[in-house]
């Protein structure tokens, strides 16, 4: 189950039995090593069916991540390191961060307030000064 950390964001624990791992050969530099080892990691999680989210969190995540989902499945692919173990750790971390940001509640709605009397006076005073400055510039050429 998700828990709330001291900073207000949601801390998630990915259920290992719901994760889908795929490994493939990674491109880029690496010499002969890259031709023989499957270091690219693809981590998938079915957001529509996962048990780690509440109904509200699931709806929020599906809405916010809709451009990254394929049939409700979120996939993260990592090939940053030459080591499969480091790529696995990085994929798990990125998946957790993505879902945590997606399920976090949005900002509170803004309550409309009136500007204070001092703020209104400062605004009008600034407009008056600017108007006087522009008027003084135009008088110079009226002769």
Check residue 10 and give its pLDDT: 64
Model confidence over 33-84: pLDDT tens digits? 666 778 889 999 988 888 888 888 889 889 998 898 888 888 999 988 878 8
Which residues are within 8 A (CB) of 4 and not within 5 positions of it... i.e. 6 or more apart?
Answer: 10, 11
Q: What is the pLDDT of residues 8-33, one digit of tens each?
A: 556 677 888 888 888 887 776 666 66
Q: According to the model, what pLDDT value does residue 25 have?
A: 79
Q: Which pLDDT does position 54 carry in this prediction?
A: 87
DSSP symbols for 31-83:
TTHHHH---EEEEEEETTT-SSS-HHHHHHHHHHTTTTEETTEEEEEE--SS-
Question: In the predicted model, is pLDDT for residue 114 greater than 90?
Answer: yes
| Spacing of C-alpha 40 from chain mean position | 23
Q: Over the chain, what is the mean pLDDT?
A: 83
Question: What percent of the chain lies above the pLDDT cut of 70?
Answer: 83
The predicted-structure confidence for 72-94, as pLDDT tens digits, reads as follows 888 999 988 878 889 999 999 99
Reported pTM: 0.64
Q: Where are the domains of the chain?
A: 3-103
What architecture is the 3-103 domain classified under in CATH?
Answer: 2-Layer Sandwich (3.30)
Mean pLDDT of 90-100: 91
């Amino acid at each position: 189950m998700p828990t709330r950390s001291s900073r207000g964001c949601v801390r998630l624990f990915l259920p290992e039995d719901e994760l889908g791992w795929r490994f493939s050969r990674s491109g880029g530099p690496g010499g002969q090593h890259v031709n023989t080892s499957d270091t690219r990691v693809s981590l998938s999680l079915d957001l529509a069916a996962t048990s780690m989210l509440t109904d509200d969190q699931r709806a929020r995540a599906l809405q916010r991540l809709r451009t990254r989902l394929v049939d409700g499945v979120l996939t993260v692919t990592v090939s940053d390191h030459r080591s499969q173990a480091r790529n696995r750790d990085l994929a798990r971390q990125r998946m957790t961060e993505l879902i945590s940001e997606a399920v976090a509640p949005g900002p509170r709605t803004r309550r409309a307030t009136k500007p204070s009397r001092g703020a209104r006076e400062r605004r009008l005073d600034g407009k008056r000064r600017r108007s006087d400055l522009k008027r003084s510039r135009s008088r110079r050429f009226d002769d």
